[in-house]
Amino acid sequence: MIRLSGVSRTFTGRHGTLEALRDINLDVAEGEFVAILGRSGCGKSTLLRLIAGLLPVSAGQITVDDTPVTGARRDIAMLFQRPALLPWRSVLDNVLLPTEIFGWKRKEQRVRARQLLEMAGLAGFENRRPHELSGGMQQRVSLCRSLIGNPRVMLMDEPFSALDALTRSELAGELQRIHMDNGATVVFVTHSIDEAVLLADRVVVLSPRPGRIREMRSIDIPRPRTLGRNDHLAQVAQVSADLHELLMTKESPDPVATA
């Protein structure tokens, strides 16, 4: 579904050149949930923006469904760290925003929007304004907005990072359920090992800048997964410990990056 072939990205500015990503090769299958994990500054968010078509690659190629990515696409939805809701619009109208941008039939989408809000536990909040909601509720609205067009690909850039631990866990469980229901292909950027293990079919670990694929780890644990007491607690704990140890182990310095 998604293929990155030899993808690199370099930024050039008045302070010089910064190599953010180098030679990324990655295939994401249709319906797969892939988590991108790594330390701050390793290029995780840049990688997501390249897949979304919000940034051009410096080298290599990205394709989605065998079509080269050259800009933003309607079948790709992106969820950011902050909900980015329009404060003057109601919850329902925020969810319906993509229908106006892409010219979809609003009447048909209103039914879909209400269904999504009900699924997210927001029935009865359709006419509220964003400032009347908690941070977790706002992010649920943002998630509903990203789902309104039934996207084939969902790109998520640390969408729960600003939330408290309990709300993060709650929304991670909600996202598991949504993914199991709609089967979208998901690429999820996080710096949280627990989040990666709870959500992903596969975890891609990036090295420090310039970001390169250091390791890929399949998560063969039945869903739904939780950090609480369950039949798979030992497996979840073991995979989390392995990834923690990997991230704590420093790589040998890259001769090109440090030259």
pLDDT tens track for 46-57:
999 999 999 999
Answer whether residue 49 is part of any domain.
yes
Q: What is the pLDDT of residue 257?
A: 45
Number of domains making up the chain: 1
Percent of the chain with pLDDT over 70: 95
Residue 130 or 40, more confident = 130
In a domain, 194, yes or no: yes
Q: Do the domain assignments include residue 43?
A: yes
Please state, in angstroms and as integers, the Cα–Cα distance from residue 134 to each residue in 38, 79, 141, 158, 252, following that order.
28, 17, 11, 18, 44
Domain hosting residue 34, numbered range: 1-75+153-159+184-251
Asked if residue 71 is part of any domain, the answer here is yes
Any domain includes 129: no
CA distances from 223 to 175, 180, 235 (A): 12, 9, 12
Q: What are phi and psi of 82, to 5 degrees?
A: -105, 145
State yes or no: pLDDT of 114 exceeds 70.
yes
Model pLDDT, residue 252: 57
- pLDDT at residue 182, as a whole number: 80
pLDDT value at residue 239: 87
Segment 190-244, tens digit of pLDDT: 988 888 988 999 999 999 989 999 999 999 888 877 766 666 778 888 888 888 8
CATH value at residue 34: 3.40.50.300
Please indicate, yes or no, if residue 99 is contained in any of the structural domains. no
What does pLDDT average to over the chain? 87
- Does the structure show a pLDDT above 70 at 11? yes
Of 50 and 166, the structure prediction assigns the larger pLDDT to: 50
Q: Is the pLDDT of residue 147 over 60?
A: yes
132 belongs to a structural domain: no
So what's the pLDDT on residue 221?
85
The answer to whether the CB of 159 falls within 8 A of the CB of 136 is no
Report the distance separating Cα 84 and Cα 77, nearest Å: 14
Neighbours of 66 (CB within 10 A): 7
Q: Does residue 174 sit within a domain?
A: no
Q: What is the pLDDT of residue 231?
A: 62
Average pLDDT over every residue of 180-198: 88
Residue 71: pLDDT band by 50, 70, 90 thresholds?
confident
Asked if residues 229 and 62 have their Cβ atoms less than 8 Å apart, the reply is: no
Reported pTM: 0.87
Mean pLDDT is lowest, of 8-22, 27-41, 50-64, 157-171, for 157-171
Q: Residue 255 pLDDT more than 50? A: no
